[in-house]
Amino acid sequence: MTFDVTVNVSLKDAILDPAGQSTEKVLRNMGYAIKGVRIGKQIRFQITATHLEDAEENARQMAKKLLANPVMETYSITVRES
């Protein structure tokens, strides 16, 4: 079976986010009343696995080993059948 996987990666709250701070400053200068902008990344791919649980476990391993830096980042994974 083929599954669609989405991995959302973001910096941990304790980590400074210069890109988020810069974006927030520009948006405020444009007149938007916002705060707490954080920049992250989204990785999407398809994976072949026998069961949903296998696809989820493989995606977790990929995120832990390569897609996210567990020292600085957190991640969430969504897996659904294609």
pLDDT in tens, 20-35: 999 999 999 999 999 9
Backbone angles phi, psi at 41, to 5 degrees: -140, 155
Tokens representing 58 are 């493989």
- CA angle centred on 81, ends 53 and 43, rounded to 5°: 85
Q: 3.40.50.150, 3.30.1280.10, 1.20.140.10, 3.30.470.10: which CATH number matches 2-81? A: 3.30.1280.10
Instruction: Note the pLDDT tens digit of each residue in 51-62.
Output: 999 999 999 999
The one-letter amino acid at 6: T
Question: Comparing C-alpha atoms, which of 1, 76, 72, 18 is closest to residue 42?
Answer: 76
Token code pair at residue 74: 């957190």
Residues 61-76: tens digit of each pLDDT: 999 999 999 999 999 9
Verdict on whether the full-model pTM lies above 0.85: yes
Other Cβ atoms closer than 10 A to 28: 13
pLDDT > 90: what percent of the chain?
100
